[in-house]
């Protein structure tokens, strides 16, 4: 079968959308660090629409900080890729052209720095996942002992980490008299612009206090709330896309119809007209970010750990099992929502109902295992913030605490039948070690995990109501299993 490429675009079936602008006329205006499926289904699509609206200055250079896989898949197809938007009603296909080339940082850090220092580059955006910030999840501060940070302080001209690349590129621009780019974090972190600013400024300060002061003074770090569910692509997805295109795409991206991007409008060097594609610009993103992290992501993680332990492969499977929808509805309505700042004019109840519908999307096949990854980096902003606020206000925390308990069982690396779980987490080895040294009972697990201050801080482990609520969750999970524990939330 022919491979998708610039020259085969004209042969695509009529229903498949394709770039509505002259790709050859684009300039490179954005460098994106963390070229995963999420970026391709979200920011690359908003930018695609902005390019079609007429400003050719914003082509994207995609950078993978680790693996060559995306570049290897996309380069032979002129960096074009297919977006498949799936729901119970069917699939819509669109070929996206906003990414102009892909770089692989470990192969050639200098090429990445050259793209980041080019005067035409005015935005460097990031989806490097929570752990890519090299910060301490409980406090948001740079982890100065992180191996990549140590490496980048010793080898500033050949960095590995996102902070290392950003600071070296900003230093080179400064030396060359080129104004700084705007740093645009698109990761699921609270106040993500602020978090990025803290780690980048701190890293710059460690290199040279004057450079640190420059970053604080001169570089804009707008916060954003990003939302679109993007499950990992499978071979079945590839086959479906090839069949529909009549052409091969080595790495299409699967997603849902829903998409949302709320952005703080602080781009001193300019930005694409993402508003033409439906992005919302606001003065303060934080209330939106908290809402999304605590409602969507908090529910997602709770569902992922409990769903995985109950034997459900996908989110939609778990949603169809007894009690899951009720548990999540209660978590969102009774525990997460009361902690949120008010968003005048925003219909929170409709937002929660829409989330449950999105989780039920039968066409997505979003694996619980995928969402379960990196729990140590996700729990603080997804569940622990909700718990802290409710403890302070004397409100219930049982559902969120059950989510935490399920994570504790999951991260032992053994499921309810004693079979191994492939736990992906930067702290996985330390969790396995801590739990293997203690009995697999309520006290043993509490003891094993609550010592991890980088996850729980020092306040939660010292809170009796918190320990008691997690203990109740653990006790039910260990004696009755996840499926029965969750089923109790369902109609009697
Ligand atoms: C998910 C998110 O994998 C995960 O942790 O919770 O990727 C989620 O799908 C997105 O944040 C939705 O916008």
Tell me the HSE value of 325 on the side-chain side, using a 13 A CA sphere: 15
261-297 pLDDT per residue, tens: 999 999 999 999 999 999 999 999 999 999 999 999 9
Burial 153-171 (b: 16+ CB within 10 A, else e): beebebbbbbbbbbbbbbb
What does the pLDDT read at residue 138?
Answer: 85
The answer to whether the CB of 366 falls within 8 A of the CB of 316 is: yes
**CA 371 / ligand 1 centre spacing (Å):** 7
Please say if the pLDDT value at position 461 is more than 80. yes
Could you identify the atom of ligand 1 that is nearest to the CA of residue 228?
Answer: 13
Strand extents, DSSP E, 298-426 = none
298: CA distance to ligand 1 center in Å?
A: 10
Report pLDDT digits (tens) over 426-451: 999 999 999 999 999 999 999 999 99
Q: What angle do CA 127, 186, 301 make, to 5 degrees?
A: 80
Give kind and range of the element (H or E) at residue 429.
helix 428-436
> Confidence class of residue 121 from pLDDT cuts 50, 70 and 90?
very high
As a whole number of angstroms, the distance between CA 34 and CA 311 comes to 31
Global pTM reads 0.96
**288-322 tens-digit pLDDT:** 999 999 999 999 999 999 999 999 999 999 999 99
- Closest alpha carbon to 486 in 339, 299, 294, 334: 299
Q: Please tell me the distance from the alpha carbon of residue 128 to that of residue 179, in angstroms, as a whole number.
A: 24
Give residues with Cβ within 8 angstroms of 335, minimum separation 6.
Answer: 386, 390, 395, 396, 397, 398, 399, 400
Give the residue, by CA position, lying nearest to ligand 1 atom 8.
229
d(CA 315, CA 183): 33
Q: Record the tokens describing residue 250, joined without a space.
A: 């080595």
Q: What is the pLDDT of residue 137?
A: 85
Pick the closest to residue 403 from 483, 298, 289, 312 (CA basis).
298
- Contact 87 CB / ligand 1 (< 6 Å): no
- pLDDT for residue 417 is more than 90: yes
The Cα 200–Cα 168 span in angstroms is 10
The closest residue, in CA terms, to atom 9 on ligand 1 is 229
Instruction: For 363-394, write each residue's pLDDT tens digit.
Output: 999 999 999 999 999 999 999 999 999 999 99
Best CA proximity match to 301, nearest among 414, 186, 382: 382
Q: Are 295 and 336 in contact (CB under 8 A)?
A: yes
Give me the pLDDT at residue 344, please: 87
Q: Is the pLDDT of residue 219 over 90?
A: yes
Average pLDDT over residues 408-418: 96
Task: Indicate whether residue 42 lines ligand 1 (CB < 6 A).
Answer: no
pLDDT digits (tens, 9 = 90+) for 22-79: 999 999 999 999 999 999 999 999 999 999 999 999 999 999 999 999 999 999 999 9
| Arithmetic mean of pLDDT over the chain | 97
Q: Is the CB of 304 under 6 A from ligand 1?
A: no
Q: How far is the CA of 240 from the centre of ligand 1 (A)?
A: 23
């Amino acid at each position: 079968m022919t491979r998708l490429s610039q020259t085969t675009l004209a042969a695509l079936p009529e229903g498949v959308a394709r770039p509505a602008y002259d790709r050859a006329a684009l300039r490179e205006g954005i460098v994106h660090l963390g070229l995963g499926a999420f970026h391709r289904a979200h920011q690359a699509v908003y930018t695609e629409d902005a390019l079609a609206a007429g400003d050719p200055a914003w082509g994207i250079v995609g950078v993978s900080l680790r693996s060559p896989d995306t570049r290897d898949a996309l380069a032979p197809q002129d960096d074009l890729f297919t977006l498949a938007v799936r729901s119970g009603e069917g699939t819509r296909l669109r070929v996206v052209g906003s990414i102009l080339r892909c770089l692989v940082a470990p192969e050639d850090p200098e090429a990445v720095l050259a793209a980041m220092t080019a005067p035409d580059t005015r935005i460097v955006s990031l989806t490097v996942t929570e752990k890519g910030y090299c910060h301490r999840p409980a406090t948001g501060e740079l982890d100065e002992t992180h191996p990549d940070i140590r490496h980048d302080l010793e080898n500033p001209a050949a960095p590995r980490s996102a902070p290392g690349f950003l600071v070296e590129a900003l230093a080179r621009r400064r030396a060359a008299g080129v104004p700084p780019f705007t740093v645009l974090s698109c990761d699921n972190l609270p106040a993500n612009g602020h978090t990025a600013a803290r780690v980048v400024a701190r890293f710059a300060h460690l290199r040279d206090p004057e450079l640190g002061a420059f970053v604080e003074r001169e570089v804009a770090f707008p916060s954003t709330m990003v939302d679109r569910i993007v499950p990992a692509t499978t071979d079945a997805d590839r086959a479906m896309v090839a069949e529909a295109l009549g052409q091969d795409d080595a790495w299409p991206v699967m997603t849902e119809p829903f998409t949302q991007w709320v952005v703080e409008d602080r781009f001193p060097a300019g930005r694409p007209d993402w508003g033409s594609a439906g992005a919302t610009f606001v003065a303060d993103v934080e209330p939106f970010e908290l809402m999304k992290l605590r409602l969507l992501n908090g529910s997602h993680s709770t569902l992922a750990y409990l769903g995985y332990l109950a034997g459900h492969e996908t989110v939609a499977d778990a949603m169809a099992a007894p009690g899951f929808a009720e548990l999540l509805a209660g978590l969102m309505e009774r525990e997460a929502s009361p902690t949120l700042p008010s968003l005048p004019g925003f219909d929170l109840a409709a937002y929660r109902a829409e989330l449950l519908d999105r989780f039920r999307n039968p066409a997505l096949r979003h694996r619980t295992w995928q969402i379960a990854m990196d729990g140590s980096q996700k729990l603080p902003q997804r569940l622990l913030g909700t718990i802290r606020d409710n403890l302070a206000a004397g409100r219930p925390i049982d559902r969120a605490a059950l989510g935490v308990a399920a994570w504790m069982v999951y991260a032992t690396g053994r499921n309810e039948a004693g079979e191994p779980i492939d736990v992906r987490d930067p702290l996985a080895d330390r969790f396995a070690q801590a739990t293997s040294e203690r009995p697999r009972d309520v006290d043993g697990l509490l003891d094993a995990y609550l010592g991890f201050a980088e996850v729980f801080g020092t306040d939660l482990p010292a809170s009796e109501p918190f320990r008691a609520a997690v203990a109740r969750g653990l006790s039910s999970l260990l004696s009755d299993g996840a499926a029965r524990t969750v089923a109790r939330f369902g109609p009697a």
